[in-house]
């Protein structure tokens, strides 16, 4: 009996060792990478060597993977390697963005160096949703005015130069008004921390990647392609389709306090860009949103605001001027001008010292718009590189009242018919 037991134990031991050896042999041969920035070996490329470089600003040989994504850098087993990743597939989610993308040389530097991206993005009205929350609470009599006091998360900006220095967290369950409660339950889907609405046209990441990681839509009617269409990329060449993963997707119904997706199925850009009810000019649908709207308008300026119009300030006259004035310009004389950095990140234009650009009323460079010697302007599309030439209003037969520069006034003559 003892000998049978000994034989069985021996067989068990051998089997255990064989299984261990077999499992060991299944591990791929590690591919090591020692990024310049960390000088720490990581084995991520063992499985992810086929991933495209995420951007020219983040080469894998310099950054590696772990400094942004987290994870167990020496693990070869997928579950273990991914167990400590920040934000799952998306290290730019605002819950982890500081650890993933922060650092004084990266995206949480100073405003003077234009490296305060995280501060600006997390305080922007697209992140706080403060304007919508204030509007609904004011509409239903919960607060006395439209000044924002709540955001989707609490945030303090003591040095804010706007009228607001802090927002408390909006908690729908603490609201007494049923409409505000319903708003909280049904309508908090369009801020940068919210998961996207259902539907392939709404697919996006959260955080910075909501805008900067493109979703490709080869066939918008094929919902099976959704997951495979978010690509490993960070870009400032942001197509209008990325903006439209949140914008122009439908309307809020104030009676039912629900979001009602648009029912039309756009088949081309003219119909896709804006909802059927919208008025817009030719440049508003032929260009991409980022061709006109600046980084400050989209990402904020680090202050807290109540309404979109406090931060979104561009008008038609910014590019076209008025009957009395040409648009503002700046000739590049400083090699550290922000325009050079923006043009480097999205090289649709080769900027040189001495070039004259349009600038906004807040002196932000419209770096993709040149002044040509004949007094016209040339714009290069940031998303597609396409060249457009346009004229100033001054000296034209335009019938505008120079004082009235709201888009509605320009749309009276320049609106596109669909």
Partner 1 sequence: MSNRTLSRRDFLKLASAAILTASGLLGLEGLFRFLNTQTEPLPPTEFDLGLASNYPPGSRTLLPDIPALLLHAQSGYSAISLVCTHLGCSVESKPEGFACPCHGSRFDPQGNVTRGPANKPLRSLRVEVTSDNELRLYTT
Binding site for partner 1 (CB under 8 A): 3-4, 6-7, 10-11, 13-14, 17-18, 20-21, 32, 34-37, 39, 41, 56-59, 61-63, 105-106, 113, 115, 335-336, 340-341, 344
Tell me the closest approach of the beta carbon of residue 62 to partner 1, in angstroms.
Answer: 5
Task: Please name the residue ranges forming H helices in 34-111.
Answer: 45-48, 60-63, 66-69, 78-82, 97-101
Q: Where are the alpha helices (DSSP H) in 129-206?
A: 130-139, 178-186
Which of 283, 288, 263 has its CA nearest to residue 275? 263
Distance (Å) of CA 101 to CA 33, 39, 58, 109, 152: 20, 18, 11, 11, 21
Q: Least separation, in Å, of the C-beta of 38 and partner 1?
A: 9
Q: What is the smallest separation between the CB atom of 185 and partner 1, expressed in angstroms?
A: 43
CB of 60 to partner 1, least distance (A): 11
CB nearer to partner 1: give 30 or 250: 30
Q: 285 vs 340, which CB is nearer to partner 1?
A: 340
State the sign of the Cα–Cα–Cα–Cα dihedral 273, 275, 276, 277: negative
Consecutive H or E run containing 380 = strand 377-380
Question: Using alpha carbons only, how large is the chain's radius of gyration in Å?
Answer: 26
* Shortest separation between residue 2's beta carbon and partner 1, angstroms: 10
Q: Hunting for tokens 């649709």 — which residue is that?
A: 348
* Nearer residue to partner 1 within complex by CB, 63 or 377: 63
Is there a contact between 222 and 200 (Cβ–Cβ < 8 Å)? yes
Shortest Å distance, C-beta 357 to partner 1? 16
Considering the complex, state which of residue 88 and residue 347 has its C-beta at the smaller distance from partner 1. Answer: 347
Q: Residue 54 or 164: which CB sits closer to partner 1?
A: 54
* Cβ–Cβ under 8 Å, residues 378 and 385: no
> Which residue, 119 or 318, is less far from partner 1 as judged by CB?
119
């Amino acid at each position: 009996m003892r000998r049978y037991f000994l034989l069985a134990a021996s067989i068990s031991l051998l089997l255990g060792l064989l299984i261990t050896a077999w499992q060991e042999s299944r591990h791929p041969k590690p591919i090591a990478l020692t990024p310049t920035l960390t000088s720490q070996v990581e084995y991520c490329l063992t499985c992810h060597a086929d991933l495209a470089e995420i951007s020219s600003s983040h080469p894998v040989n310099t950054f590696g993977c772990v400094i942004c994504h987290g994870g167990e850098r020496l693990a070869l087993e997928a579950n273990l390697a991914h167990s400590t990743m920040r934000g799952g597939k998306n290290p730019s989610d605002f819950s982890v963005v500081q650890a993933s993308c922060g650092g004084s040389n990266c995206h949480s530097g100073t405003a003077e160096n234009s490296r305060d991206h995280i501060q600006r993005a997390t305080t922007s009205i697209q992140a706080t949703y403060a304007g919508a929350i204030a509007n609904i609470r004011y509409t239903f009599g919960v607060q006395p005015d439209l000044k924002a006091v709540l955001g989707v998360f609490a945030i303090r900006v003591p040095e804010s130069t706007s009228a607001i220095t802090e927002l408390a967290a909006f908690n729908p369950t603490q609201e007494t008004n049923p409409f505000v409660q319903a708003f909280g339950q049904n309508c908090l889907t369009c801020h940068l921390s919210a998961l996207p609405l259902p539907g392939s046209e709404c697919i996006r990441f959260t955080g910075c990647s909501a805008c900067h990681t493109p979703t490709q839509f080869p066939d918008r009617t094929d919902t099976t392609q959704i997951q495979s269409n978010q690509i490993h990329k960070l870009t400032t060449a942001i197509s209008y389709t990325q903006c439209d993963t949140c914008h122009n997707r439908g309307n809020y119904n104030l009676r039912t306090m629900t979001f009602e997706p648009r029912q039309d199925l756009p088949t081309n850009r003219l119909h896709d860009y804006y909802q059927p009810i919208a008025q817009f000019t030719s440049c508003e649908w032929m260009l991409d949103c980022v061709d006109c709207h600046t980084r400050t308008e989209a990402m904020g300026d680090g202050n807290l605001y109540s309404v979109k119009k406090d931060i979104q300030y561009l008008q038609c006259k910014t590019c076209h001027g008025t009957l009395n004035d040409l648009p503002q310009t700046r000739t590049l004389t400083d090699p550290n001008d922000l325009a050079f950095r923006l043009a480097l990140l999205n090289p649709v234009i080769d900027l040189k010292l001495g070039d004259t650009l349009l600038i906004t009323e807040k002196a932000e460079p419209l770096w993709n718009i040149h002044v040509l010697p004949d007094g016209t302007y040339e714009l290069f599309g940031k998303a597609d590189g396409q060249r457009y030439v346009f004229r100033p209003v001054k000296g034209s037969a335009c019938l505008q009242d120079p004082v009235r520069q709201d888009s509605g006034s320009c749309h009276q003559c320049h609106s596109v018919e669909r």
